[in-house]
Amino acid sequence: MCSPPYRLICCVGVVLATCAAQAWQPAPDSMLTTWGEKVSPATAWRDYPRPALARTTWSNLNGLWSYAITDALATVFPAQATGEILVPYAIESALSGIKRRLTAEDVLWYQRAFVPPSASKDHHIFLNFEAVDFQCTVWVNATRVGTHTGGNLPFSFDVTAALTKGENLVTVRVTDATNTPGAYQLHGKQVVSPSGIWYTPVTGIWQTVWLETVPADHVSALKITPRINGTVTIEINPGAAACTVPATVTTSLRIQTVATATAHGNRINLTIPSPPLWSPDSPTLYDLVIRFGDDTVSSYVGLRETSVMKDSDGRLRLALNGKPLFHWGTLDQGWWPDGLLTPPSDAAMRSDLEFLKAAGFNTVRKHIKVEPRRYYTH
């Protein structure tokens, strides 16, 4: 049993009490941004991570996790944790509270307890990781729920069968060789010995970890294709084999409904009358609500088309909405002094875009990095 003092880790639908020897703080002797100075276990990336396909039934698992470092032979979380790490910041970053470098021979372990959200009998609970660098294996209680390789992309596991009533335990095992000779893995701008244009490695969880409850027949992905004449095609990728679930899409602009369409299947066509077109100077987005059987998700769409066309001199140009558009932008590498690959916060990430827009740019050239999904919504 824990003895006082206690720390409360709060997230949407989840409240846990864990032992705390001392208050969390960033690693000492580190350069912090103004946003990094505001980071705490209670505020670390609280926003919904997937705005292009959003639900209200979710729980945030960011915050303080136990961590340990072992050699490659270890197959279970050790009996004694090394300490606590602030997720979702990589262990090499100041905002993790650790700021420690690992080698290709090290194994990084994460572990935390959680209480899953309540769900009806026919619903499923998914454990989602927005990004873990590089190779990881995940257990819930004693059940290995899956593995993933690759440091940039989101992945999910259906953990319904592994859950028990009350408190559950999630364990993550991570290895990351970066550019160690013989490793042959994608590492972007990370290298073991950073200098010049090469940067500090990032190991482990570096984006949001979260739970989500979905019905058996649910939307697992959306493909939204707009046309500047106002037609929008929405293709639903169902999470189950059923393809005959009734679906309805409602479109609104500034909370006013502008169009509704219904289909009995996975493809819906709707028409938005006289739409204002999306452009960098006028980034109008329509809100979408998709009801697919018992599932309800929200998304958005901008009415725009991209193409390649010839100008008056016969040169090929990139075009937006049928007109050539000069792309004026910066090379954006997306590294932070306190979070490395992880922006200190959503507000910090958004500030980059607001600065570039105010400076007169209309383009971001993202360099060897995949940003959190909220970045693309912003």
| Residues 107 and 73: beta-carbon distance below 8 Å | no
Q: pLDDT of the chain along its 378 residues, tens only?
A: 333 222 233 333 333 334 444 589 999 999 999 999 999 999 999 999 999 999 999 999 999 999 999 999 999 999 999 999 999 999 999 999 999 999 999 999 999 999 998 877 889 999 999 999 999 999 999 999 999 999 999 999 999 999 999 999 999 999 999 999 988 899 999 999 999 999 999 999 999 999 999 998 899 999 999 999 999 999 999 876 555 788 999 999 998 999 999 988 789 999 999 999 999 999 999 999 999 989 999 999 999 999 999 988 999 999 999 999 999 999 999 999 999 999 999 999 999 999 999 999 999 999 999 999 999 999
The pLDDT of residue 264: 81
- What was the pLDDT predicted at 70? 96
Amino acid making up residue 340? L
| Radius of gyration, CA atoms only, the chain | 23
What amino acid is encoded at 192 in this protein? V
- What's the confidence (pLDDT) of residue 34? 97
Tokens describing residue 128: 């989602």
Q: Is residue 136 within 8 Å of 148, Cβ to Cβ?
A: yes
Q: What is the pTM of this model?
A: 0.91
d(CA 202, CA 266): 39
Q: CA-CA-CA-CA torsion for 19, 91, 126, 148, nearest 10 degrees? A: -140
Does residue 355 sit in helix, strand or coil? helix
Phi and psi, residue 54, nearest 5°? -110, 145
Per-residue pLDDT at 21: 42
Give, for 153, the enclosing helix (H) or strand (E). none
Beta strands in 56-142 (DSSP E): 58-60, 63-71, 83-87, 106-114, 123-129, 132-133, 135-140
Q: CA of 40: how far to CAs of 60, 63, 181, 185, in Å? A: 15, 8, 37, 32
**74's tokens:** 């270890």
> Which residue ranges form the domains of the chain, and what is each CATH number?
6-215 (2.60.120.260), 219-301 (2.60.40.10), 324-377 (no CATH)
